[in-house]
């Protein structure tokens, strides 16, 4: 079911902020999808997903090389899943990368990413869908029909 990204149900927001990894998929210039299992953070106020990455990461370089590209992020847990889609932008801007790191603590620890190599992919979400987050009133209406 399609959801309004600007008004995700509380259960969907909790699912997005649980901290479990998800999958980021970006379609390259040759129309081939590239996917990476990764952690990401959801910023409800901005309607944005942020992915902490490194300057030499293939997906970061791909997004940085394209003037505009769409990205798909998904998270699943058994039968529950949620997919978000929007325009992706790669950034090395200090303040934007710092915000991504603040929302995703631990990504530069244990040698995962050297702090000076940290970058971010920001995805402005304009589509969201997932069957596990249908409002209860709608579920009742469908079951009665």
Per-residue pLDDT of the chain (145 residues; tens, 9 = 90+): 788 888 888 888 888 888 788 999 998 888 889 998 988 999 999 999 999 999 999 889 999 999 889 999 999 888 788 999 999 999 999 999 999 988 886 555 545 788 889 999 999 999 998 875 655 554 444 445 4
| Segment (H or E) for 119 | strand 118-129
Q: What is the pTM of this model?
A: 0.84
Please, which residues have CB within 8 angstroms of residue 120's CB and are 6 or more apart in sequence?
50, 51, 52, 53, 90, 91, 96, 97, 99, 100, 101
pLDDT reported for residue 127: 94
Nearest in space to 90 (alpha carbons), one of 130, 57, 112: 57
CATH number, domain of 103, equals 2.30.110.10
d(CA 112, CA 30): 30
pLDDT reported for residue 134: 56
Range of the domain at 25: 2-144
pLDDT reported for residue 19: 75
pLDDT reported for residue 116: 86
Please, which residues have CB within 8 angstroms of residue 88's CB and are 6 or more apart in sequence?
26, 63, 69, 70, 71, 121, 122, 123
pLDDT reported for residue 135: 55
Number of domains in the chain: 1
Q: Which residues pair with 89 in a beta bridge?
A: 122
């Amino acid at each position: 079911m399609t959801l309004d990204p600007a008004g995700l149900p509380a259960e969907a927001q909790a699912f997005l902020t649980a901290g479990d990894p998800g999958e980021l998929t970006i379609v390259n210039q040759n129309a081939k999808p590239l996917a990476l299992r990764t952690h990401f953070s959801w910023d409800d106020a901005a309607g944005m997903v942020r992915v902490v990455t490194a300057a030499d990461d293939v997906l970061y370089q791909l997004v940085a090389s394209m003037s505009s590209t769409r990205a798909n992020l998904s998270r699943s847990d058994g039968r529950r899943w949620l997919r978000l889609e929007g325009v992706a932008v790669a950034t090395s801007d200090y303040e934007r990368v710092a915000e991504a790191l603040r929302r995703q603590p631990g990504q530069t620890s244990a040698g995962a990413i050297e702090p000076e190599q940290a970058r971010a992919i920001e995805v402005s979400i304009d589509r969201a869908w997932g069957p596990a987050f249908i409002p209860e009133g709608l579920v009742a209406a469908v079951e009665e029909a």
